[in-house]
Amino acid sequence: MRRGLGAVQIDVNQGGAMSEHIVDGAEARAVSGTIAVLTCALRSGAVPAEVPTLLTDAESRRGAALLAESRLAAESATRLDRDRDRLLHGGPARGPIAPIAAPPAAATELARLREALVAAGIAEPGPAADLVDALDLLAALDERPSRQAARWRQQLVTDHLLTWGARGLSRMQLGAQTFFYQGVAAMGLGLLRQLSGDVHARAVAG
């Protein structure tokens, strides 16, 4: 997907046959903007100063509303850090409530995928250990649409984002004690719902 206007054509391989999946420019910008907000929030506990275009499904809108509520409620950095630690890191007596780290086997596969994308000039070298890293790879793939990129994207979505990524966000939604992380979880699940729909549409087209 590119951020320009118009539509983007992506060739997709399904069962050995090539098909075309047309992604509207507005949809591409919304997916890209949502990824940017999620990676920023999960990495730093904040959202971009200028919020980009976001997905507009009900779950994504709920997520955006919760993030806005977090600002209105003036949730403190201390409160957000405490919630983040509970959710993502846990403590000596208890593991994380909503782990976003890839399970060991998935982490190995994700690292191999990143190596392939680096070799293809799509992604930069870097970690491949958690949901943020997986979303970074998704953004990189969407910037360079091609037949091979579509195959890698399908692998990333089905093998990682819709499995352990979805579990982490679902647990975050249930366990978060701040509007901020409730919003992050809802927005993330909205994105995954969109990606799941893309996978289904491509399977039907194939």
Tens-level pLDDT at each residue, the chain (206 residues): 333 323 333 333 333 333 344 455 788 899 999 999 999 999 999 998 888 889 999 999 999 999 999 999 999 999 999 999 999 998 778 899 999 999 999 999 999 999 999 999 999 999 999 999 999 999 999 998 899 999 999 999 999 999 999 999 999 999 999 999 999 999 999 999 999 986 655 554 55
DSSP the chain: --SSSSEEEEEEEETTEEEEEEEEHHHHHHHHHHHHHHHHHHHHSS--SS------SHHHHHHHHHHHHHHHTT--HHHHHHHHIIIII-BTTB--SS--BPPHHHHHHHHHHHHHHHHTTSS-S---SBHHHHHHHHHHHHHS--HHHHHHHHHHIIIIIIIIIHHHHHHHHHH--SHHHHHHHHHHHHHHHHHHHHHHHHHHH-
